[in-house]
Amino acid sequence: MSSLYMTDKTFDTRLDVMDINHIMSKLLLDKGVVSRCRELADHIAKPVGDLISTHTTVAIERASLRLAGVNGAVVRGGQLFPEANIIVENLHASGLLGRGALYWFANALLQKKLTTQKLAAAVAAGKIDLSKLPRSPEPDIREKARELCMRAKQHLLEKRDERDRLREETRDPFDPTGKNGPLLYVIVATGNIHEDVVQARAAATAGADAIAVIRSTAQSLLDYIPHGATTEGFGGTYATQENFRIMRTALDEESRKLGRYVRLTNYCSGLCMPEIAALGAMERLDFMLNDAMYGILFRDINMKRTLVDQHFSRKIIALSKIVIHTGEDNYLTTADAIENGHQVLASQFINERFALNAGMPENLMGLGHAQEMDPQHPDVFLKEIARAQMTRDIFPDSPIKFMPPTRFKSGDIFYSHLMDAMFNFVGVLTGQTIQLLGMLTEAMHTPLMQDRWLSIRNAKYIFNGARTLGSEISFKQGGVIESWARKVLEDTHRHLELVAGKGLFKAIEERAFAGVTRTETGGKGHDGVVKKSPEYLNPFFEIL
């Protein structure tokens, strides 16, 4: 244990007990402990890396086809069902998916001399069986598959450049380090994409910097992506490629009209995580909610499925320079924020390592945390400052996302609004990058447009009035704020040692995060995890 700590709960606050070079940023956090936490996260991720390198999933194979241009749908059961799903389902049922969907699809393109779209439509209609076609020479199949992937990569790069040109054309307020103050980030969630657009435009006009389209309840458990624009959803609006396009077009118009770039966020989690990453990249999204363990803990999606999927999705996201948002804030809705706050930091270290392993730089890692301590707890505001400043100090180059209080919100809208104001104050004081604004009525109903306007007005007042306050103050050595941050860090260190000793799968089974237990073979989507054959073909893993 570092010499910084005398006992579990007693801290030696004398500067002479540590090398001054070990002190990092505004809080007296030991860089040695932080480095050890990162080493442990790397150790925890290594066995998962072995799993990722030897397995694929139905969602990765569908995403690969979608990137290659298979984005049509056929009518099944009275609704539109994606062609990519049908192609992958057929290969999986025949025991052929281990070679990769692109192997069979590229071979069919060579054999049938059809376009990608016409071949996909014919296979989905049952007119062509990929498994029964003659085989082209292996080098020819690999060359064709690589051609498909290179074309897809070029398309993603063009979309990325198109987005970046609009950012240059308009004023872009985004700074990953939070030096310009937190972005004002608000949600829309009507269920109808066209009504969402109305609310998003109003929010942008009122001052919002980023719009998050909340996804319809339980969409993460659907093993397919609905096709086209949708006008019905419960608790949110379905994430579809057409819905992405509609909202992005609307926000492009608002950005030009306002002379200020407005970002778009959607969810990239659940059983279709890689596919949504692909569609989000195609439609120029800016932020995507993408966490390594959220689906496991909070949606009971199989561990292997989630961890393999998150790697491929993050490779797509990294190429497109989309900022991810991780979901550690959810831990504090099921576990006590005072007693279990260290689990948030432990998960942030693990999420950081998985993102790095996927080729994602720190400036794309929007690591999440939240203000969810019981407001009746003594000195709670100081402890919230400590947690927020600690996160900012440990991840200085990451666009940190700060989530508002929800667990202790009530129907008292005045008290609720005050809680949000205190949350906004912590955000600007500690240099958070992305501030999801709380709504005074969120404990009562889905916020109305005027509720969102009040929240934006609240945040703008505080962010403007206290914009440079963080640079004006320092924290008392050995005081409540500094001591609490150091305690959380040491608790995190011990927790990561425990997880590393048991292994991530076993640790999750034993409730290491959010008080939730899952098993390695349990959960939804386990049957969609496929061991790669020695001849597995998917050039995207190389060229992304």
The rounded distance, in Å, linking the Cα atoms of 80 and 241 is: 13
Active-site annotation holder among 30, 209, 291, 329: 329
Residue carrying structure tokens 């709380």: 438
The CA distance from 88 to 65, in Å, is: 9
Taking CA atoms, 484 is separated from 277, 339, 385, in Å, by 37, 12, 10
Q: In 226-272, where does DSSP find H-type helix?
A: 241-258
**Angle in degrees, CA 408, 409, 413, rounded to 5:** 150
Q: Can you read off the two tokens belonging to residue 428?
A: 């600007």
The three-state DSSP-derived secondary structure of 281-293 is HHCCCCEEECCCC
24 strand-pairing partners: 29
Contacts of 353 (CB under 8 A, 6+ apart): 38, 41, 42, 44, 45
Catalytic site residue from 294, 304, 409, 491: 294
Beta-carbon contacts of residue 12 (< 8 Å; ≥ 6 apart): 3, 4, 5, 6
Q: Cβ contacts of residue 161 below 8 Å, gap of 6+?
A: none
What count of Cα atoms within 13 Å lies in the side-chain half-sphere of residue 527?
Answer: 7
Residue 294 catalytic?
yes
Q: Answer left, alpha or beta for residue 224, where phi above 0 means left and psi between -120 and 50 means alpha.
A: beta
The DSSP secondary-structure symbol of 396 reads: T
**Calpha distance 520→462 (Å, rounded):** 46
Strands (E), 245-346: 263-267, 287-289, 323-325
Classified as helix, coil or strand, 126 is coil
CA distance 313 to 497: 28
Q: How far is CA 325 from the centre of its chain?
A: 4
The length of the chain in residues reads 544
Sequence-distant (≥ 6) Cβ neighbours of residue 515 within 8 angstroms? 334, 335, 340
Catalytic residue, chosen from 401, 409, 487, 524, is 401
* Separation CA 328–CA 365 (nearest Å): 13
Which residue from 270, 262, 308, 305 is spatially nearest to 290, judged by alpha carbons?
270
User: Comparing C-alpha atoms, which of 137, 149, 240 is closest to residue 196?
Assistant: 240
Token output for 167: 């950012």
Query: 256, exposed or middle or buried, with CB in 10 Å at 0-12, 13-18, 19+?
Result: middle
194: exposed, middle or buried (Cβ count in 10 Å: 0-12, 13-18, 19+): middle
CA-CA distance, 61 to 50, in Å (whole number)? 19
Which residues are part of the catalytic machinery? 294, 329, 401
